[in-house]
Structure 1
Amino acid sequence: MQAKKSEDMADSKVEAQAYLDNLLNNGSQEGDSGSELELPSWYDEQLFKRGQAYFSKYRFVMTSGMLAGLIAVLAVPSILRVLVCTRQSSNSFTAYRRYVRTTFHTHAWYYYSIEDRSSKFWTSIAAVRKAHSRSSHVSGRRGAGQITQKDLALTQFGFIGFITVGAHRIQLYDPDFLEATCHMWRVIGYLLGIKDEYNICGRNWAESRPRLEIVMHKVYKPALSSTTDEFYRMTEALIHGLWHVNTMLSVKANIFFTKRLAYVKGYEYFSFDHLVGEERDPKQKSCYYDLGFWDRFIVSYGLFIVTYLHKYAFVRWYFNFRVWLMDLFTYYLPYVAIWKFGIKWAYVSIFKSGGKALELELTKDD
């Protein structure tokens, strides 16, 4: 039995390495899959709907994981070049509007029916795919390269990678959540133009997990271990933009959270933050002590909640409610953004009154 298990693990590692090699080599040469906006043959309605339902149950940690994923994505050079080139998030104003739009689109994928072809789920998917095509065209024309299959798959990791492969670190032991969430994002990835061979979500969790882990350890960990000034500047714009949604956000604290999730050395907080079989280096400096008092408080407070308290239903309900309330204000009364940007620019919409998608806006002048 043990020998069979070891053999299966070895096979999954080989398959994951083959997936990564194909993604980094061939995936970096291909753009959008060109597939029609139709559900794939392997779509499972019940599994997809369960994936949607889990957002209500784990809203707080899923939102936190996605934010860390968005920061991590900025460490990928090819993706960063596109964002810089298209000027979609280079300052707090454009970052606020871009990432609030991203949040609203993500909500549409979790809230609206995939079975109804006239629902806002499909309107949102079509709008995002069109926006990707437009950004890819602009980026290519300006010499920064097109958006590739590799970029799409690595961005896909940003939405679910940390919350799935890191679930055990917050004592989230829910196999159906992992299975359903991966299927849901496999479908979304397909609809957004990712070919099956590059989709970071495989046929099931057993196939998806090694892909997610190898991408985290061989792409994101190295990238986040040697971040650039441009990464910091774009992360600063992101956090300063989203500060108008959540005033508890901090640039240095959120970078710490992200690098810790990717197992970057020096960003350990708990003893279990070291990989299995990896001994702590006594000479390794802890970056936690480089943080100021307020950032240390945010890190300690946040990690205590998700590590020790999130497992309790009442605590989950309370923090889920807080995030829901922030989202509600962002939709209907973004008072902090109104104070900073004015009423006209504080309100962000992704749909017109009739339900059609709004075109992507980049800056006040565009």
Structure 2
Amino acid sequence: MKKMFDALRGVFIFLFVLVVCLEIGSCSYIRFVNNNIPLPTYSMVNAESSFWVDNNPYFGVWHDPNSSYMHNKQCATVYYKANSHGMRDPERSLKSAKPRVAVLGDSFIEGYIVEDGKRLTDLAEKHYGLEFLNFGTSGGHGPLNEWLQYKHMVKYFDHDAIVIGILPSNDFTDSMKKKVYMESDRYRRPYLEGTYPNYKVLYSQEEMPIRNRSDLLKSFDHTLREWSYTYRILRYLDSFDLKNMDFRARWQSKADNKEKVCSMYYDFTPEMWDMMRYCLEQIVKEADGKPILLFVIPRYTDFLRYDGKEAPAAKLLREFCSDNNIDFVDLMDPMYKYTKTQEDYYLLCDPHWNAYGNEVAFELLQPSIEKLVEKINK
């Protein structure tokens, strides 16, 4: 019995020393070699909590008022805080004596995995000294959701102009019944049924869902990330593929074969365009003459398909904006020409803009935003 105890003690001591050495080595690597890996925060994480909740009966996913959330990803840990209206913004009042801009869009506008102060709307607010109200959110938030959100929420905030960010990658499909039912097991989402212009707004679930999610394994995974340098490195490496002795972001590696890349700048259908323009038409009606700036957001896969000519989706959106007196910017060409390494705009572990992507987008949009600001300051 004593021999078994001594053997177990020896194994325990060996494992303990191994773990300590791994942690010391991993800590040194993160601190002095690879600063892309976030440091542990030594906090407990409950994966049952979420910043994106199904709490609005009209447009679906939003944020609980005054909620906070630690978004734990392989390449970043970002803290989110919602104000009393559920916006990921400083506190906002419904009324304002000063000009303000309402900004609509999905996770790119919200600033998914981007720290406060570095998002597109934060940069604009700081530069112009005006409030840019950020109504962006993740969770399948497309043009239909934005129209319903504008109708039932945004229009009650005093604002003098509107900025809309369109992401062809999923905005062409977010209003479709098939797409909604494929992805709406967690959320109650609206979709359109019918043909242009005779659509009906329906929902994937009749009643608002009850929040009863439980994910202990995910909680354990996230908590371990916050306590272990070694586990942080392992999760970070999981974001990459090894190709030709070179680590490439997994989302980028999947797009390497250009012939297989899907880009909704090119691959949308007439039905998808009809739904998008219908939703945009409704926003224009609700806006009641307010000046609007619409800009188009390219993903990395869109750059792989770009041939230097205006893409079909950009052409239709430009013509729509021209017909409706809307300022228009397609970021595809200027962002393509801004750098030869377009992948630098995106997070290592996720194909959303990083802080640099937001910074470049703001720089390229600045002339158009200035025109908008001049209109509302007259």
Structure index of larger Rg: 2
TM-score (norm 1): 0.27
Higher relative contact order (CA 8 A, sep 6+): 1
TM-score (norm 2): 0.26
